[in-house]
Chains A and B, each alone.
Chain A
Amino acid sequence: MSIKRSLLSVPLRISTLAMVFFLVLGAQAFGANPDVSDSEEAIAAGKSIFNANCKTCHKLDQKYTGPALRGVTDRRSIDWAKSFIRNSGALIASGDAQANAIYKEYNNLAMPNHEFLSDSDLDNLLSYIEYGDKEAAVADGGDGSSASSSTGGSGVPSEYLTIILAVLVVVLLLILIVLGLIISVLTKYLNSQKLDEEDQEFINQKFNFSKVLKSDAFVIIVTALVIALVAKTAIDGLYSVGIQQGYAPKQPIAFSHQLHAGQYEIECQYCHTGVELGKSANIPSANICMNCHTHIQNVGGKDGISPEIQKIYNAVDNNQPIEWVRIHNLPDLAYFNHAQHVAVGGIECQTCHGPIEEMEVVYQHSSLTMGWCIDCHRQTDINAAGNEYYDKLVQLHSDSKNALKVKDIGGLECAKCHY
């Protein structure tokens, strides 16, 4: 054996030894590695790091683009895990057996480097991986009941409202019946008394339906109502010309946001890369799809290649772009910039695009009319915190009782959107 090879084998042996040692330790501890902190802060800090860097490819308890992570500190040494997270390529290149095994298992897909993460960041991250979101994982395994229970959380529960209303209706009906009874009793009583003819007639008069129908007042009221109704329908109809609210065209690929954004919680920005840069949010190019779909070839654990995913492969192989149908169409005369709203304003995607993470097929949630834009500009506060650009405006507005709204800094002016 040459000196070089023997030198190389030393760290290998040491790491093997260490692994054995830790495996033994792990077995003794029956679960979590005691070196990993389980403090709340560490877990919280680790969660944000996880969401920012890892979530796209990893889940805690489920195999995904990358392996399920929980228990990694039992399976591996903390130092190994840290060095793998920082620079997996280097570890693989150094000939580390475990690293190479994982690399092979996941089709030679390299994990990006995270050398910017400090040691304490990594500790926090490992804490989260070990202890974080255990209940959520359990709930996820269920039928999604956790989601429905959380929706009606605020204010008076809707069931009570219905019951109250039903009770009210019943009470009102009872009152009506009682009143009818009183009338018949009183009529009977009056008829039994001796009255003059005029009073008789008054008491026993019949309700004349045709007379009411022919009365001027009735005709006028009905005509006015009909005209108003027709006018309203016509105006509403005219206003909706060119408005495609609810527009949900069939797309060339049956892409599900519900699956990607909802179930797998992939950040919107991961695919819509332009949303914080400029005007266009960008429909993702096929190479972005391929980041994951090189490995994920089918859904629901089925074998083979899904025909929908095959369409991506065809696009890439034939260098033929996928022609998505554009859903949100603003007229050319209106200038809209995503970066202004998302990066500067801090508006959630869902504010305009609706519950996108629940959409199997994307539809246009908002009307996208100018009135809709303007309404929002009237109501929305400026996201001025920590942004030096707004300092002067905030200072000038400090006398006012109301919060600084978009409309206060020219958000209703024509040339903000039309030029």
Chain B
Amino acid sequence: MKENNKTYWKGIEQLTNDPEFVKNADREFPEFTSSSNGEEGPSRRDFLKLMGFSLAAASLAACEAPVRKAIPYVNKPVDISPSIPNYYASTFASGGDYASVVVKTREGRPIKVDGNELSPINGKGVSAIVEASVLSLYDKQRLAGPFINGEKSDWSSIDAEVKSKLAAAGTVKIVTNTILSPSTEKALAKFSESFGGAEVITYDPVSSYGITKASETVYGSAVLPTYRFDRAKVIVSFGADFLGTWISPIEFAKQYAKGRKITKEKPEMSRHYQFESNLSLTGSNADYRTPIKASASGLAVLALYNALAKKAGAITFNAAAVDVSNLDKAANELWANRGASLVVSGSNDPNVQVIVNAINDLLNNNGVTVDFSTPSYFRKGDDAKMNQFVTDLNAGRVGGVVFYNCNPVYDFVRGAEVASGIEKAKVSVATNGTMDETASLVQFVAPDHHYLESWNDFNPRKGEFSLAQPTISPLFDTRQAQESFLVWAGEETNYYDFLQENWRASLFAAQSETSDFQEFWDRSLFNGVYSLESTSSALTANGDASAAAAAVARTYKADNAGTELVVYTKIGIGNGTFANNPWLQEMSDPISKATWDNYLTVSQKWANENGLKMFEGATQKAKVTIGDKSIVVPVLVQPGQAIGTVGLALGYGRTKAGRVANGVGINAYELLSVNNGFVNFDVIEGVTVELTSDKYKIAQTQTHQTYMGRNFVVQESILPEYKENAFAGRYQPKIYKEGEFVKPSKISLWKGHQYSQHHWGLAIDMNSCIGCGACTVACQVENNVAVVGKQEVLNRREMAWIRIDRYYSSDAEVGDNDGLEIAAENPEVVFQPMMCQHCNNAPCETVCPVAATTHSSEGLNQMTYNRCIGTRYCANNCPYKVRRFNWFKYHDNKSFAAVNVAQNDDMGKMVLNPDVTVRARGVIEKCSMCVQRIQSGKLTAKKEGRKIQDGEINTACATACPTDAIVFGDMNDPNSKITATLKIQEETLSATKEVNEERAYHVLEEINVNPNVWYFTKIRNKDKSEA
């Protein structure tokens, strides 16, 4: 076995072995002099006062128990039974971000959103944003009714005024983000018709205009293609973060993971090259990642084209030579895998996308891995039109403007001009659900329902349809925007009937399975999705790419000396629409592990040159100036950041999003501009960054736990090694006993548990885990995990039950700053989901003085909150650092009301899972392996008098995972998926199961705590010589 000689590090602090870091690393609960509110500690007098009060309170409380009411329905709905959840198929869509979902409701309240297994697009997987979207339903920031000029009004007066004023306004324009709904488009068309053909202007905050424009140039229709990452053996991406934020990440992650799953029987996986400036989630999963400057990205694409064209004998284009490592290697492998490879680019420059199309054409990928004849509709934004609209608006050429659920004042690059232009229009209307940056400036706000209150249909891709249905009656006096449009257009019909009629006329008419429309409708609604068989013929490219190539050669530079700003989106906050959601704000970024902030990511080299030393989130601010615009942001040293570039995330700096998001971070949209007709997210000229002396603290979770120098927490290898030996990369500790070396599990002080019925376990494939963090939010929703806010995260008191540990690794020796630079230049990244390991020899159980944490007869490590007295011995004794302590009462506490919305205000509380206790102050909590789901699944089986079927019980994390990296099941069941995955052959009741899968390992196997969570080694598809 080849031993792993890499150095793994969680952050720069650990890499440099900073003495302060080492000191803190020893402590599970570091002490801080500053408390959250800066008050002094309680005095003896306070203690006596409290004592007296509590005695009095206790004796008073003992006299009479409070009277509690039990209030039944007057007329119980047939399909709602208290305590029984109902599930409804629906669809999440925000602009072009799409997921077909199943909504869990309890007593008529939506409490959880999961993926819809029947969906051909996203399947059962979701993203963090989709998971968290259920909380936005209960956001108090939502408008409670229509507003006219900032005054609360009613629907009849707003209808009358909007109708008459719009009719007299002259040119009417409708501004919207991408609309995926055919019926909405139809309703808008009716509206537009009745106001003299009002033009619909579509833009997307994070635009893919480059791709649609290039598609129009090359194939004649402005659409996105359908990508098939699962069919590609070689994937090359130029800055496209397709696993994290690019276009349809859930779908792409699902496809990508299919190509990355390996077994001993099928040791094949796709190879992934990434050329990018910021270290993205996708880049951190790549086999070969090359940091490149944004200014050279177009040339790199062109160089790849030229290399392939040479092999194909096609014409090559003149361009400045760029030195990009791995590019030739990528070209060779792409060529060898013609028809089974895929090249994508995240650039919004249509010229670059034309070259990308030409590359895929050269490689015969068109119609296989990238399919323009089956268009996707996730992004329909037209940057040029929107740009023109802003100009028109400011010139007073727009009489009436209607904003359909979009917020261009905040999220369009010329937002300030939109803001100043709105008052120049005679009539301005918005259907936004909150008084956001745009809605607060218009005359009429006709708030739309939340998506969980709405009827709608969606057509995300040619031939694929889905429906959205209300899962709760409208909470406020809102009205579905489509209905508003129909009313203003003078239509009598409500949107539900309109929608049904639309389906009757189009989809029902096109099918022949049933002649009963009601049956067709009910089935489609039940499934949530409907697919229409359609034929399509491959498209051929028109003309050549020479014009585009010339433009690329002109715009991009091989030797740009200046600093370049690359603007990106984060997994949690995205384009900023859902910024007011505390679950997303506190979700730590998969790469930087930072919460509650955006920041300027800089390279270690830049930090060294500017004398910045970052330590555990303590950093300085920098002033970024582009032309006449400048901002001041904190700086974060990001390993893997391309030298000469800095990165900044969109979605922050909201001013009117609500209590949670206002004032968090800096708005990066303002720094961008529209150049050559498209929104440019890479600013390659005129950027200056100066470090200021302002100190700042970024709340990162990354350095809070360390594995104390045990380097075998992460076990990894490369594909050629794995093919030779399936144990490649495995650390197999042996312990000396009576003359021989044996596995640690053979030596134990304990007799060992026997599990007569179930033995629950998790198998986590680190090859499939892309680190997207959907599981962390899913866990938070399912288990009522508290949000603690930025200060408490800084105090290392975040409550997450499942975290994703991100380790950087590099071969370099780190002796000095130069060494540090090399190590941090382009590290490899590993993601490891970490939750309670449910040890069979659990160290926490033996140290609890009150037996509050015990072992169950099904292998679970149980945490009993009502017994816990808060000694925290268990957390100190946990080798995995997964036990979290409630330092405060986070529920019903004014100090946390602004961040912990789900446990503090009466609206937010509606999202709580009624089957899980909200924990009190002073107790430890941790992953329960979703014991409430296990109990409920067992009860269902018992009621039906049968055995549990594998798969009917699943944990929240495993359900949410878009890549199926987490498998949950009963290891006592010989037919379960987990038994097959782990290759458990012998049927035994013993807690110690003989696992025959070569890749499966326990973290810290040598201490023989014998967890019920197994990890699978990460295998990178790298060539041997370079490993």
Contact = CB atoms under 8 A, between A and B. Distances in A.
Interface in A373-419: 386-393, 396, 409-410, 413-416, 418-419
B756 to A, nearest CB: 5
Interface in A235-291: 241-242, 244, 247, 249, 273-274, 276-280, 282-288
A329 interface: yes
Given A285-B76, A325-B67, A278 B81 contact: yes
B946 interface: yes
Interface stretch (B351-359, B579-587, B856-864, B957-965): B856-864
Given A388-B945, A409-B757, A419-B931, A278 B84 contact: yes
Contacts of A332: 917-918
B371 to A, nearest CB: 47
Interface in B43-90: 62, 65, 67-76, 81-84
A114 B75 CA distance: 25
A337 B943 CA distance: 12
Contact of B854 (A242, A280, A413): A413
Contact of A288 (B76, B916, B932, B943): B76
Given A339-B939, A344-B942, A416-B935, A323 B71 contact: yes
Interface in B974-997: 989
Contacts of B863: 415
A19 B862 CA distance: 71
A331 B917 CA distance: 10
A326 interface: yes
Interface string B847-874: 0000010101110101111110000000
Interface in B906-929: 915-918, 928
A389 B74 CA distance: 37
A340 interface: yes
Contact of A333 (B857, B862, B866): B866
Nearest to A274: B81
Contacts of A343: 943
Contact of A320 (B74, B856, B866, B941): B74
A419 B916 contact: yes
A286 B76 CA distance: 8
A418 B865 contact: yes
B319 interface: no
Say whether chain A's binding surface is mostly helix, strand, loop, or mixed. Answer: loop
B109 to A, nearest CB: 15
A315 interface: yes
A218 interface: no
A391 B73 CA distance: 40
B74 A326 contact: no
A372 interface: no
Given A389-B946, A389-B948, A322 B84 contact: no
Contact of A414 (B65, B854, B942): B854
Contacts of A286: 72-75
B65 A392 contact: no
A274 B81 CA distance: 7
A282 B81 contact: yes
A351 to B, nearest CB: 18
B69 A329 contact: no
Interface in A338-372: 339-340, 343-344
Contacts of A247: 65
A346 to B, nearest CB: 11
Nearest to A390: B942
B864 A414 contact: yes
A276 B940 CA distance: 11
B943 A315 contact: no
Contact of A344 (B82, B866, B935, B939): B939
B947 interface: yes
B947 A388 contact: yes
B107 to A, nearest CB: 9
B633 to A, nearest CB: 42
B866 A283 contact: no
A321 interface: yes
Given A332-B917, A340-B939, A340-B942, A280 B82 contact: yes
Interface residues of B, number: 48
Given A280-B83, A285-B76, A323-B71, A409 B862 contact: no
A329 B65 contact: yes
Nearest to A283: B72
B842 to A, nearest CB: 13
Given A273-B81, A335-B915, A388-B945, A415 B862 contact: yes
A414 B74 contact: no
Contacts of B70: 283, 323-326
Contacts of A277: 81, 83-84
A409 B758 CA distance: 11
Interface in A46-70: none
A343 B864 CA distance: 27
Nearest to A415: B862
Nearest to A335: B915
A333 B852 CA distance: 13
Nearest to A410: B857
A316 interface: yes
A319 interface: yes
Contacts of B915: 335, 419
Nearest to A416: B935
Contact of B942 (A278, A322, A387, A413): A387
A402 B943 CA distance: 25
Contacts of A344: 939, 942-943
B917 A414 contact: no
B917 A418 contact: yes
A285 B69 contact: no
A410 B858 contact: yes
A56 B121 CA distance: 51
Contacts of B928: 415, 419
B858 to A, nearest CB: 7
Contacts of A280: 81-83
A286 to B, nearest CB: 5
Given A284-B72, A324-B70, A413-B856, A279 B948 contact: no
Contacts of A241: 62
B610 to A, nearest CB: 51
Contacts of B948: 389
Most buried by A among B73, B858, B863: B73
Nearest to B946: A388
Nearest to B918: A332
B761 to A, nearest CB: 16
B67 A249 contact: yes
B917 A329 contact: no
Given A324-B69, A333-B865, A418-B865, A287 B939 contact: no
Contacts of B931: 415, 419
A324 B71 contact: yes
B867 A414 contact: yes
B854 A409 contact: no
A385 B989 CA distance: 23
Interface in A271-314: 273-274, 276-280, 282-288
A78 to B, nearest CB: 35
A361 B337 CA distance: 81
Contact of A418 (B81, B860, B864, B947): B864
Contacts of B941: 389
6 nearest A-B pairs in the assembled complex, by CB-CB distance: A279-B83, A415-B862, A285-B76, A285-B73, A278-B83, A410-B857
20 contacts: A241-B62, A277-B83, A279-B83, A280-B81, A282-B72, A284-B72, A285-B72, A285-B74, A320-B74, A326-B67, A332-B918, A333-B917, A337-B83, A339-B943, A389-B938, A393-B757, A409-B857, A415-B862, A416-B935, A419-B862
Interface of A: 241-242, 244, 247, 249, 273-274, 276-280, 282-288, 315-316, 319-326, 329, 331-335, 337, 339-340, 343-344, 386-393, 396, 409-410, 413-416, 418-419
Given A277-B81, A409-B857, 9 more contacts: A278-B83, A283-B70, A285-B76, A324-B69, A337-B83, A389-B942, A389-B946, A410-B857, A419-B915
